[in-house]
Structure 1
Amino acid sequence: MTQIPFPPSTLVPVGRVELEVHEAGRENGGPAVVLCHGFPELAYSWRHQLPALVAAGYHVIVPTQRGCGRSSRPTDVEAYDVTRLTGDLVGLLDHLGIEDATFVGHDWGAMLVWWLALLHPQRVRSVVALSVPYVERGDVPWVEAMATWFGDEHYFVHLDRRPGVADAVLDADPARFLRNLYRTPPASPTPGMMLLDVARDEHPRGEPVMSDADLAVYVDAFRRTGFTGALSWYRNLDRDWQLLADVDPVVRQPALMVYGAQDTVVRGQDLARYVPHVEEVTLDCGHWVQQERPEEVTRLLLEWLGRQGVA
């Protein structure tokens, strides 16, 4: 694998924070596509898709989310709730003078674009989610429900209820944690596995999903920032549940859901009930879909966008 050049970033003011944003293809005059990364990632996670989307005529915007990279990293946990995170994306569109866009998200980025479609439907033309399907709100707060199902050592529960513990372990050796995590199955953590287990593993399984040069981009970034900002997204799940209480739960935009067949993330059950215009596709890979199967993901994106008339 060879390192792929990625366009330089600029810092974009969005309300009270700044986002590190990579942008290309504005001169195309085509529809906007915003690519949203997950945890523990950066805008660079979309290095394979950006050039092809630009070549196809799209205006591609790739933010590094708040809490990561050169983007702002507020210290208050509540600064990472659903209203702030979706507000960042709306503010980014406003700054660029864009009315609406197709939003593509992976992992936490997928959760974010689902929520954006609910909270700001007029700004979302269509949605593409990788790895993480739309999650029904349910009657019980999400972390509380996971504690009941999986116990207190499930990593979502642990991160929420024991702040600072995981942060210290991951910060102590970002290179080992990221090297162990960015691998093909069976290296992906199971629902009950702690991030701490991954960080401490001296004999990781699976194969790397990226070159050493690409991995160094992530390692260098998280060595500078630590992981607390990125982990704060997890620590707002029950707050997000509260904030979404009175929101129409149906995603009405056209949507594409891409699963990894070997991913441990639970597949969406009756997804079309809440996302009636969804198309579901499964690729033979694990959790890091767009990095494990870059050409397939790029082709899927271009074909699906074309069918939706986003061209």
Structure 2
Amino acid sequence: MFNPTDFPKPALISVNGVELEVFEAGRQNGGKPIVLCHGWPEHAFSWRHQMPALAAAGYHVIAPNQRGYGNSSRPTEVADYGIEHLSGDLIALLDHYEYEDATFVGHDWGANVVWGLTLLHPNRVNRVINLSLPYFERGEKPPVEFMEDMLGSDFYFVHFNRQPGVADAVLEENTFQFLRNLYRKNEPPREPQPGMALIDLARAETPLGEPVMSDSELAVFVSAFESSGFTGSINWYRNVDRNWHLLADVEPVIQQPALMIYGDRDGVARSEKLAELVPNVEVVNLDCGHWIQQEKPEETNQAILKWLEQQGATY
């Protein structure tokens, strides 16, 4: 397992009206940026296995804690977590380093941000690598309404929006238990239960399956969320309808070369139209659940580096 003391020390960088806590590797590889965007409820530390491998391959690796996370700024207004701000932070980070464009890598919510960033700022993204969350066709209804119709009011996206503050408080009361119970792999199949699944997970005394990481690694996440709370990060979910409206008029097809990495046991749905929406995409499947780059670090690194080499992008 990874020794958390080996993780780079962060810098606080002022961009786009906020401060971001940014971790770097391979700074000596200036001019070859690759930006790693974490998901929820994660942290830049989720890329601990990828950062040294990418730096060794010649990249300047930039892994921010995005707004709402870690020691990065946590604005109080919900609207400050919309895709225009989340993508604006990353563009401002490129400007800070004086980069015209970069390869962007995202997992989970980070993948959603990278897809949105690529739509809003196509000239600043040269390649896309996303894990778990594919690019989906824009629906006819706002997403929260659609999910409420399909999955009910207890589905976590809907609950976060319809009952603001409720889940936030439960997760904050049970931070260690929630994260310990969430970061699991090889979980036995379960029948769907009534109620809000993440609240139930936070209150469950016994975790299922096997831990994804060591106790010392988990402690990094627990410490970060004990300090920051969960509201800033959950506010990303509270902007999905605003983002849907904001992206209504952008060109929906992503032309950049893209790598999509799925976990075969991930509960996140796959996109049936991915090849239409992202015509230059290559798909890789790994035998793992949702926490792809932490469950299968070597395989993830191999998939990313092989694809970058095929793109003629490895230095």
The TM-score, its normalising length taken from structure 1, stands at 0.97
* 2:248 maps to 1:266: no
Alpha-carbon deviations, 1:23-44, whole Å to 9, x = none? 1212123521000000000000
* 2:141 maps to 1:143: no
Matches within 5 A, 1:33-72: 33-72=34-73
Identify if the C-alpha distance between structure 1 residues 190 and 98 changes in structure 2 by more than 3 Å, giving closer, same or farther. farther
- Alignment partner of 2:118: what SS? helix
Matches within 5 A, 1:221-300: 221-300=224-303
* 2:15 maps to 1:14: yes
* 2:133 maps to 1:126: no
Gaps of 5+ in 2: none
Aligned residues: CA RMSD:
1.5
The match for 1:214 among 214, 217, 220 is 217
- Alignment partner of 2:211: what SS? coil
Moved more, 163-172 or 187-196: 187-196
- Alignment partner of 1:19: what SS? strand
Identify if the C-alpha distance between structure 1 residues 95 and 30 changes in structure 2 by more than 3 Å, giving closer, same or farther. closer
* 2:157 maps to 1:156: yes
1:188 and 1:98 mapped to 2: Cα distance?
A: 46
2:7 and 2:37 mapped to 1: Cα distance?
A: 15
1:130 and 1:306 mapped to 2: Cα distance?
A: 18
2:110 and 2:191 mapped to 1: Cα distance?
A: 20
- Asked whether the equivalents of residues 134 and 271 of structure 1 are also in contact (C-alpha less than 8 Å), the reply is yes
Identity across matched positions, percent: 60
Gaps of 5+ in 1: none
Q: Which stretches of structure 1, 4 residues or longer, exceed 4 Å deviation after superposition?
A: 187-193
Identify if the C-alpha distance between structure 1 residues 189 and 59 changes in structure 2 by more than 3 Å, giving closer, same or farther. farther
The TM-score, its normalising length taken from structure 2, stands at 0.96
Number of residue equivalences: 311
Alignment partner, residue 101 of structure 1: 102
- Alignment partner of 1:104: what SS? strand
Moved more, 264-273 or 287-296: 264-273
- Asked whether the equivalents of residues 191 and 264 of structure 1 are also in contact (C-alpha less than 8 Å), the reply is no
Alignment partner, residue 31 of structure 1: 32
Identify if the C-alpha distance between structure 1 residues 189 and 263 changes in structure 2 by more than 3 Å, giving closer, same or farther. farther
- Asked whether the equivalents of residues 3 and 211 of structure 1 are also in contact (C-alpha less than 8 Å), the reply is no
